[in-house]
C-alpha cells in the first residue's frame, strides 16, 4: 500500500517487513488457508514465550510465592499471574470501562487482554496481513465475549487490477431513497443521530443543478411534480484532499481506489471533514448505537464494523461487499437502476460502457480532486 | 551539581511566592480555580457523552474551540513584537515588558493546546500523533506542521525567560551570547506559527472563504494588533498592582506597534471586502452570510457588526498620537481592538467557512452551555498559568527572590 514512506517512525517492531504478495501460496486471499493458520499459531507460541520471559524477569525465583498468590490466595501459573498483573494495571490506567469483574473469570480477563491490545495496536494501513488478521480476530472474539453472538469480519485486501468507479443516472433517479435506508442498514450507521452517507438533493426543474435551492432533507411523496433528483456521497476521489490533511494517516486511498478510514486510529480532529468539498464525511458526535437484532454481522475492518464515539466514518462503496464481487447496498437497493458500480479497469464492465457512451460529468472538477463518481443523463 | 541545587531552590522560592499575596490576589486565584473546576466538570460531561453536547454538527464541524485556538495562536505570536526590539534591535525600553510578553506567549500556547485537545473526538488516542510512537503525517498534513511549530515555540518561550530569570535569581547578568540566538530564532518562529496556522485553513480548496491568499498575512497583522494590545492591558494591571516599574515610554512604544498593525489589518479588511462584494461570485456566499445573512439565516450578524465598528473606531483613535498618548484612551482602544479581533479571527473566521456547506446547505451554529463552560475554563487556565509565571518573574526582577547559598 505504501511504497515510499513520507513519515518518520521509530521502529518498535510494529511495522514488520510485510510479505510481498497479499495472498499466500495456496491462492486463497481470504486468509483461511492452512499455512497462514500455522503462522498465527507460531506467533501465539512466541507470545507465550514472551510472557514467560517477562514473568521470569519480573518475579524470577519468587514466583512460587509471589505477591499475587498471597493476596488472592489462589494457585495460578505464571501466565495467569502476568495476565492479572496486566489486568490490574488496566484498572489502574482506567483503560477499561467495566473493570469491576476483571479478575473474576477468564472471559473478562480475555476481554481485558483484548481491550489492552486494541488500545495500543498500530495503524491498519501499516499492518502486515498477519497483523490485520489478528486484529480482526481480536475484534470478532471481543464481540463474542460482549454479546455472546458471532460476527464475521474480513480484512480482505484490494485485489489486483481493480479500480472501483460509480456512475449516477440523473434521468432515472426518482428520489425514493431506498439507497439511503439500504446504506444505513448495511453499514451499521448510528440510528440515534440518523447518520446517512448518501444525500439525495431534490432540485427544481428548469433551474439546472442549483444545489443552493435544492432540498436534501425532504419528507413527502416522490417523485414530486416539477422536481428532479441527484444523489451525492463520498466520491472516492483519485486525489482526495481529506487524505493529505489527516495528521495521523488514519485515512488513505486503497489500491482499488477506495478511500477508507481506520476507525481505531482516527483521533477525531475533523480536519478531513473541513477538507472535503463534497460533504462526504461523517463524525460520530455521540456513541453510535445499532439495535442488536439490526446489526449487519457481515463486516469488514475498513467498512461497516461497529464504530465508537469521536471518530470519522464515511461511505466505503461497501468494501465488505465490493471486494467480494458484489454491488454496494445502494446500487442493489435502487429500484430505478440509476446507480451503476463496477471495475474501471475492466473494459467489459457496465461502468466503462457508461463512461464511453454517455456524456458524463463530475462535480466541482475545477478543484482537481478527480472523483471516481460520474453523473450522466439518458 | 550546583545548577540543580540553585534550580531546586528557585522552584521552592517561586512556590513560596505564588502561594503568598494580598487578599485581592487570593480572591483572583480562587476565582480562576473555581472557573477551571467548572470547565473541568463541563469537559467531563463532554468526555462521557461525546462532542454531541457541543453545538457542532456534521454541517459546522468546528466551532468555539477552534475559533479560540486560532485567535490565541495570534496572541502567542505577538510576543515577538516585544522580543525583536529588545534583543535584536537592542531597544532597552522593552526589557521589562519582554518577560511579561513571553509569559503571555506561554500561557496562550498552553491554552491553544488545551483547546485543540478539547476539540478532539478521541483524546485517549492522541498518542497516535506523537512522532516516533504514532504515525506523524509530515509533511503532507498542515496540522503536523502546526504541532511542530506550536510546541517548538512553547519550548523557546519557556527556555529563554527561564535562562534569564535563572541568572538574575543568582544575581548574575544573563549572557547575551546564550539567549540572543534563541531570541532571533523566536522572531522567525513566531511568524511561522501564525502563518502555519493560517495555512491550515488556507490550504483547503473545499472552503472558498478560507482558500484566500490574504488569509496568512491578515492573520499576522491582526495578531500583531491584538497580542500587543493584550500586553498593554496586562502591563497596566501589573503597574497598578505591583511594585514592578514599567515606564510610560515602554507602553507608548508598544502602542505604536499596535497602531501600525491595526492600520495594516484595516487595509487588508478593505481589500477583502472589495474582492467579495464588488464582483460577487458563488464563492462570496460565506462573506455574504457573515456580513448580511443568507436566506434569512443571520446568527453571525450581531457579532461581526460589533467587531467591525470596534475595530475601525479603535484604529482611528489610535492613529492620532494626541489620543494614543493618553493612557486611559489607549487602554480603552486596546480593549476594543482585542475584543474586535477575537470576534473577527474566531467566530467570524471559522464558522462562515462552513456556511454555506459544500452543497449550499445553510445550517447555523450556536455554542452550547457546556462548550462555553469548557472555553471559559481554558481561559481561566491561561490566566492562572500567566499569573503564576508573572508573579515569579516580577519577584526575581524586583530582587525579592534571590538565591541564598547556605
Q: What is the pLDDT of residue A367?
A: 93
What span, in angstroms and rounded, lies between the C-alpha atoms of A309 and A97? 14
Task: Find, in chain B, the residue whose alpha carbon is nearest to that of A314.
Answer: B58
Say whether A138 sits in a helix, a strand or coil: helix
Q: CB-CB: which of B116, B139, B207 is closest to A274?
A: B207
> In which residue ranges of chain A is pLDDT below 70?
1-104
* For residue B73, pLDDT beyond 90: yes
- Answer whether A154's CB lies under 8 Å from A139's CB: no
Q: Which three cell numbers stand for residue A51?
A: 510472557
Backbone angles phi, psi at A251, to 5 degrees: -130, 140
Specify the residue for cell string 492600520: B263
B50–A279 CB contact, under 8 Å:
no
**A215 contacts in chain B (CB < 8 Å):** none
A284–B50 CB contact, under 8 Å:
yes
Q: What is the pLDDT of residue A237?
A: 95
What span, in angstroms and rounded, lies between the C-alpha atoms of B238 and B99? 12
Domains of chain A: 34-120 (no CATH), 164-376 (3.30.70.20)
CB pairs under 8 A between A and B: 159
Task: Find, in chain B, the residue whose alpha carbon is nearest to that of A310.
Answer: B121
**A199 contacts in chain B (CB < 8 Å):** 359
Q: What is the pLDDT of residue A57?
A: 55
Domain boundaries, chain B: 8-394
Task: Find, in chain B, the residue whose alpha carbon is nearest to that of A192.
Answer: B52
Q: Which three cell numbers stand for residue B166?
A: 535563572
The model's pLDDT over A141-161, given as tens digits with 9 standing for 90+, comes to: 999 998 888 999 999 999 999
Specify the residue for cell string 452550547: B368
Q: CB-CB: which of A10, A201, A279 is closest to B133?
A: A10
User: What DSSP character marks residue B255?
Assistant: H
Q: What is the pLDDT of residue B94?
A: 77
B204–A273 CB contact, under 8 Å:
no
H-assigned helices in B170-214 = 176-202
Q: What is the pLDDT of residue A62?
A: 45
Fold of B8-394: Formate dehydrogenase/DMSO reductase fold (1.20.1630)
- Answer whether B397's CB lies under 8 Å from B99's CB: yes
| Residue with more model confidence, B82 or A214 | A214
- Answer whether B63's CB lies under 8 Å from B71's CB: no
**A249 contacts in chain B (CB < 8 Å):** 135, 137
**B61 contacts in chain A (CB < 8 Å):** 270, 273-274, 283
The model's pLDDT over B339-392, given as tens digits with 9 standing for 90+, comes to: 999 999 988 999 999 999 999 889 999 999 999 999 999 999 999 999 999 999
What span, in angstroms and rounded, lies between the C-alpha atoms of A133 and A19? 14
* For residue B220, pLDDT beyond 70: yes
Region B131-151: mean pLDDT is 91
Mean pLDDT across chain B:
92
**B56 contacts in chain A (CB < 8 Å):** 285
What span, in angstroms and rounded, lies between the C-alpha atoms of A45 and B138? 37
- Answer whether A288's CB lies under 8 Å from A318's CB: no
Task: Find, in chain B, the residue whose alpha carbon is nearest to that of A125.
Answer: B135
What is the ipTM, given to two decimal places? 0.92
What span, in angstroms and rounded, lies between the C-alpha atoms of A197 and A210? 21
Say whether A234 sits in a helix, a strand or coil: coil
Task: Find, in chain B, the residue whose alpha carbon is nearest to that of A6.
Answer: B138
B95: closest CA of chain A, how far (Å): 39
**A286 contacts in chain B (CB < 8 Å):** 49-52
Task: Find, in chain B, the residue whose alpha carbon is nearest to that of A368.
Answer: B205
Q: Count of residues for chain B?
A: 406
A274–B62 CB contact, under 8 Å:
yes
- Answer whether B131's CB lies under 8 Å from B401's CB: no
- Answer whether A279's CB lies under 8 Å from A340's CB: no
A248–B137 CB contact, under 8 Å:
yes
What span, in angstroms and rounded, lies between the C-alpha atoms of B56 and B360? 18
**A268 contacts in chain B (CB < 8 Å):** 51, 120-122
Q: What is the pLDDT of residue A30?
A: 44
Nearest to B142 by CA among B67, B196, B219, B63: B196
B119–A269 CB contact, under 8 Å:
yes
- Answer whether B294's CB lies under 8 Å from B339's CB: no
What span, in angstroms and rounded, lies between the C-alpha atoms of A357 and A338? 16
B244: closest CA of chain A, how far (Å): 42
User: What DSSP character marks residue A231?
Assistant: E
Region B117-139: mean pLDDT is 91
B205–A9 CB contact, under 8 Å:
no
The model's pLDDT over B243-268, given as tens digits with 9 standing for 90+, comes to: 888 888 889 988 999 999 999 999 99
**B143 contacts in chain A (CB < 8 Å):** 245, 247, 269, 271
Q: What is the pLDDT of residue B80?
A: 77
A7–B359 CB contact, under 8 Å:
no
Q: What is the pLDDT of residue B1?
A: 63
Q: Which three cell numbers stand for residue A332?
A: 442493489
Region B4-23: mean pLDDT is 90
B120–A247 CB contact, under 8 Å:
no
Beta carbons within 8 Å of A324's beta carbon, 6+ residues apart: A156
Q: CB-CB: which of A8, A267, A312 is closest to B126?
A: A267
B122–A310 CB contact, under 8 Å:
yes
B135–A274 CB contact, under 8 Å:
no
Specify the residue for cell string 462532542: B51
Q: How far is CA A300 from CA A135, A136, A185, A282, A323, in A?
A: 12, 9, 15, 18, 10
A325: closest CA of chain B, how far (Å): 32
**A6 contacts in chain B (CB < 8 Å):** 137-140
Count of CB atoms situated within 10 Å of the CB of A289: 13
Q: Count of residues for chain A?
A: 378
Q: What is the pLDDT of residue A102?
A: 45
Q: What is the pLDDT of residue B339?
A: 96
Choose from A4, A94, A268 for mutation: most chain B CBs within 10 A. Answer: A268
Nearest to A131 by CA among A29, A18, A10: A18
A244–B141 CB contact, under 8 Å:
yes
A267–B356 CB contact, under 8 Å:
no
Count of CB atoms situated within 10 Å of the CB of A3: 4
A28: closest CA of chain B, how far (Å): 31
Q: What is the pLDDT of residue A305?
A: 94
**B147 contacts in chain A (CB < 8 Å):** 247
What span, in angstroms and rounded, lies between the C-alpha atoms of B129 and A248? 6
**B129 contacts in chain A (CB < 8 Å):** 247-248, 267
What span, in angstroms and rounded, lies between the C-alpha atoms of B150 and B41? 27
* For residue B166, pLDDT beyond 70: yes
* For residue B56, pLDDT beyond 90: yes
Q: What is the pLDDT of residue A111?
A: 86
Task: Find, in chain B, the residue whose alpha carbon is nearest to that of A267.
Answer: B122
* For residue B159, pLDDT beyond 80: yes
Q: What is the pLDDT of residue B297?
A: 92
B359–A193 CB contact, under 8 Å:
no
Q: What is the pLDDT of residue A65?
A: 43
- Answer whether A172's CB lies under 8 Å from A338's CB: yes
A193–B52 CB contact, under 8 Å:
yes
Q: What is the pLDDT of residue B279?
A: 92
What span, in angstroms and rounded, lies between the C-alpha atoms of B28 and B387? 9
- Answer whether A275's CB lies under 8 Å from A239's CB: no
A310–B61 CB contact, under 8 Å:
no
What span, in angstroms and rounded, lies between the C-alpha atoms of B315 and B334? 9
Task: Find, in chain B, the residue whose alpha carbon is nearest to that of A272.
Answer: B204
- For residue B187, what pLDDT band results from cuts at 50, 70 and 90? confident
Amino acid at each position: 500500500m505504501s511504497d515510499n514512506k513520507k513519515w518518520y517512525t521509530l521502529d518498535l517492531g510494529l511495522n514488520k517487513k510485510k510479505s510481498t504478495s497479499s495472498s499466500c501460496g495456496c491462492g486463497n486471499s481470504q486468509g483461511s488457508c492452512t499455512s497462514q493458520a500455522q503462522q498465527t499459531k507460531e506467533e501465539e507460541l512466541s507470545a507465550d514465550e514472551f510472557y514467560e520471559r517477562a514473568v521470569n524477569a519480573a518475579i524470577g525465583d519468587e514466583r512460587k510465592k509471589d505477591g499475587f498468590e498471597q493476596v488472592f490466595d489462589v494457585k495460578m501459573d505464571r501466565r495467569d499471574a502476568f495476565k492479572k498483573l496486566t489486568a490490574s494495571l488496566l484498572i489502574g490506567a482506567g483503560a477499561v470501562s467495566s473493570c469491576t469483574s476483571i479478575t473474576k473469570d477468564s472471559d473478562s480477563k480475555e476481554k481485558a487482554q483484548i481491550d489492552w491490545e486494541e488500545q495500543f495496536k498500530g495503524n491498519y494501513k501499516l499492518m502486515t496481513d498477519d497483523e490485520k488478521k489478528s486484529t480482526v480476530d481480536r475484534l470478532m472474539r471481543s464481540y463474542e465475549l460482549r454479546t455472546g453472538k458471532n460476527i464475521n469480519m474480513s480484512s480482505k485486501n484490494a485485489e489486483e487490477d481493480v479500480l472501483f468507479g460509480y456512475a449516477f443516472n440523473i434521468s432515472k433517479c426518482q428520489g425514493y431513497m431506498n439507497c439511503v435506508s439500504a446504506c444505513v442498514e448495511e453499514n451499521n450507521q448510528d440510528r440515534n443521530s440518523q447518520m446517512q452517507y448518501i444525500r439525495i438533493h431534490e432540485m427544481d426543474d428548469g433551474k439546472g443543478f442549483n444545489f443552493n435551492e435544492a432540498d436534501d432533507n425532504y419528507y413527502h411523496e416522490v417523485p414530486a411534480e416539477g422536481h428532479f433528483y441527484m444523489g451525492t456521497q463520498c466520491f472516492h476521489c483519485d486525489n482526495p484532499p481529506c487524505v493529505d490533511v489527516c495528521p495521523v494517516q488514519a485515512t488513505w486511498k486503497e489500491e482499488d481506489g477506495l478511500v477508507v478510514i481506520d476507525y481505531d486510529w482516527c483521533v477525531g480532529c475533523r480536519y478531513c471533514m473541513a477538507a472535503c468539498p463534497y460533504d462526504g464525511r461523517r463524525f460520530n458526535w455521540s456513541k453510535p448505537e445499532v439495535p442488536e437484532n439490526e446489526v449487519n454481522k457481515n463486516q469488514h475492518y475498513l467498512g461497516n464494523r461497529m464504530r465508537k464515539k469521536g471518530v470519522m466514518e464515511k461511505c466505503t462503496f461497501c468494501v465488505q461487499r465490493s471486494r467480494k464481487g458484489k454491488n454496494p447496498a445502494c446500487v442493489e437497493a435502487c429500484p430505478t437502476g440509476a446507480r451503476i458500480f463496477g471495475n474501471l479497469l475492466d473494459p467489459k464492465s457496465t461502468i466503462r460502457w457508461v463512461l464511453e457512451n454517455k456524456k458524463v460529468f463530475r462535480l466541482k472538477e475545477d478543484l482537481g480532486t478527480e472523483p471516481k463518481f460520474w453523473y450522466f443523463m439518458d | 551539581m550546583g545548577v540543580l541545587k540553585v534550580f531546586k531552590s528557585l522552584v521552592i522560592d517561586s512556590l513560596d511566592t505564588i502561594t503568598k499575596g494580598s487578599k485581592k490576589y487570593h480572591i483572583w486565584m480562587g476565582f480562576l480555580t473555581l472557573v477551571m473546576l467548572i470547565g473541568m466538570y463541563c469537559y467531563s460531561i463532554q468526555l462521557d457523552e461525546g462532542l454531541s453536547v457541543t453545538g457542532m454538527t456534521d454541517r459546522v464541524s468546528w466551532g468555539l474551540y477552534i475559533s479560540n485556538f486560532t485567535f490565541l495562536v495570534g496572541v502567542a505570536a505577538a510576543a515577538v513584537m516585544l522580543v525583536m526590539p529588545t534583543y535584536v534591535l537592542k531597544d532597552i525600553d522593552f526589557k521589562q515588558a519582554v518577560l511579561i510578553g513571553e509569559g503571555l506567549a506561554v500561557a496562550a500556547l498552553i491554552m491553544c493546546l488545551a483547546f485543540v485537545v478539547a476539540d478532539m473526538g478521541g483524546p485517549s488516542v492522541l498518542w497516535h500523533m506523537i512522532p516516533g510512537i504514532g504515525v506523524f503525517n509530515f509533511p503532507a498534513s498542515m496540522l503536523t506542521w502546526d504541532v511542530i511549530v506550536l510546541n517548538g515555540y512553547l519550548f523557546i518561550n519557556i527556555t529563554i525567560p527561564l535562562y534569564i530569570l535563572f541568572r538574575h535569581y543568582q544575581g548574575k547578568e544573563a549572557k547575551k551570547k546564550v539567549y540572543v540566538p534563541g531570541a532571533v530564532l523566536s522572531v522567525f518562529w513566531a511568524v511561522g506559527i501564525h502563518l502555519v496556522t493560517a495555512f491550515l485553513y488556507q490550504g483547503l480548496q473545499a472552503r472558498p472563504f478560507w482558500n484566500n491568499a490574504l488569509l496568512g498575512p491578515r492573520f499576522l497583522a491582526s495578531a500583531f494588533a491584538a497580542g500587543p494590545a493584550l500586553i498593554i492591558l496586562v502591563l497596566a494591571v501589573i503597574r497598578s498592582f505591583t511594585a514592578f516599574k514599567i515606564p510610560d515610554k515602554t507602553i507608548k512604544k508598544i502602542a505604536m506597534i499596535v497602531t501600525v498593525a491595526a492600520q495594516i489589518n484595516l487595509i487588508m479588511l478593505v481589500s477583502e471586502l472589495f474582492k467579495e462584494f464588488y464582483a460577487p461570485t458563488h464563492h462570496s456566499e460565506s462573506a455574504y452570510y457573515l456580513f448580511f445573512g443568507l436566506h434569512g439565516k443571520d446568527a453571525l450578524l450581531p457579532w461581526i457588526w460589533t467587531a467591525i465598528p470596534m475595530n475601525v473606531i479603535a484604529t482611528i483613535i489610535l492613529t492620532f498620537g494626541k489620543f494614543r498618548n493618553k493612557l486611559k484612551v489607549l487602554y480603552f482602544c486596546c480593549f476594543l481592538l482585542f475584543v474586535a479581533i477575537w470576534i473577527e479571527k474566531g467566530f467570524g473566521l471559522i464558522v462562515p467557512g462552513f456556511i454555506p456547506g459544500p452543497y449550499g446547505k445553510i445550517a447555523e451554529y450556536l455554542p452550547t452551555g457546556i462548550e462555553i463552560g469548557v472555553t471559559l475554563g481554558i481561559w481561566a487556565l491561561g490566566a492562572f498559568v500567566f499569573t503564576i509565571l508573572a508573579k515569579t518573574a516580577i519577584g526575581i526582577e524586583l530582587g525579592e527572590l534571590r538565591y541564598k547559598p547556605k
